[in-house]
Amino acid sequence: MSAEPMKSDLGLYDYLPWPNRPKIVWPGNKKIAVWIAPNIEFYEYNPPNNPTRTPWARPNPDVLQYSHRDYGNRAGWQRMMAAMDRAGFRGSVSLNVALCDHHPEIIKACADRGWEFFSHGIYNTRYVYNLDIEQEREIIRDAFDTVRKHTGQELAGWLSPALSNNFWTMDILSEAGIQYTCDMFHDDQPMPVKVKSGKLISMPYSLEMNDVIVYNTQKVTPRHYGEIIKRQFDQLYKEGDESGTVMCIPLHPYLVGQPHRIDAFAEAIEYIAGHDGVWQTTGREIAAAYHSTGAYDAMSAAIAAYNAGPKDAGPKSAGKETR
């Protein structure tokens, strides 16, 4: 915690209402970009404490929670991967990069399938809270180096470890060459992020499609999770007639990979894959298309114009006039 006063707004993006935006056209004229982001994580047995967040609810070692997470790396990941293979989805792995050192076998299986790796910090039990900016830059360097060394890939995406952030995080991610962040849930389309350098975009990830939120916070049954995935898809697919949308399904193999959960999930993604207008893709590919089709520039211009609207009329009525 710094001694600076708290802010009332993130200040990372400007408002742009959903109707009448510049049209996004995905490759092949697909209506919706669907990407699946498995969080392949390593939680430490005996992690150090952080004053802002204690890693485990019980004193170290919290063997029940630790072993529950470990289930994902012994058993769950295989079921999840098999379900994604059957539906023709590649993963965009939200990776605790230390997993490259601990479980290279899992990394290889993902790499062999052409999956993308993006960074989810070093361990899910190490947060960026209370780090200074140079310490946080060190984590970013570590992530780039580790993923390059083990997979040959250059990182494009970032999801902060356990969704912990500082106000400078987006600036230093962009400065390091990160192209998209998954930490903000304010839209169903990629959106420019206001950073000091570079063209960082906010990639639609999702809190409400995220299995950990669905199962553990919303207390939803596995079969109902399958239903809400399909409903989320149906709506975004329909709206994709007007302009390209993005749907992300964030996963955790220790949860969705449990025997009592995998089939309902598998059925839902096969349902999605059965639609012609679906672009089954990855975070990196969506970011690339967003730039190459001019969507980033068009959206930036629309945001600037909207927020520069006549003061007396107000931005909201300016938006309505375009109808």
103 binds another protein (CB under 8 A): yes
- Exactly one of 25, 75, 184, 273 binds another protein (CB under 8 A); that residue is 75
Q: How far apart are CA 86 and CA 108, in angstroms?
A: 19
Helix axes 295-307, 283-292, angle to 10 degrees: 70
58 vs 238 by CB, closer to another protein: 58
**DSSP assignment letter at 5:** P
Instruction: Give 3-state DSSP helix, strand, coil % of the chain, rounded to 5.
Output: 45, 10, 45
CB of 47 to another protein, least distance (A): 9
Binds another protein by CB under 8 A, chosen from 34, 37, 80, 139: 139
CB 247 within 8 A of CB 32: yes
Residue 44 as a binder of another protein (CB under 8 A): the answer is yes
Decide the pairing of beta strands 278-281 and 32-40.
parallel
Number of residues forming the site for another protein (CB under 8 A):
53
**How many of the other CB atoms lie within 10 Å of CB of 229?**
22
- The verdict on 259 binding another protein (CB under 8 A) reads yes
Q: Is 95 in the site for another protein (CB under 8 A)?
A: no
Residue 78 or residue 153: which is nearer to another protein going by CB? Answer: 78
Considering only the stretches 38-46, 280-288, 290-298, 309-317, report the one whose residues sit in contact with another protein under the rule CB under 8 A. 38-46
Task: Answer for the pair 197, 212: CB distance below 8 angstroms, yes or no.
Answer: no
Q: Which stretch binds another protein (CB under 8 A): 12-20, 96-104, 196-204, 278-286?
A: 96-104
| Residue 101 in contact with another protein, rule: CB under 8 A | yes
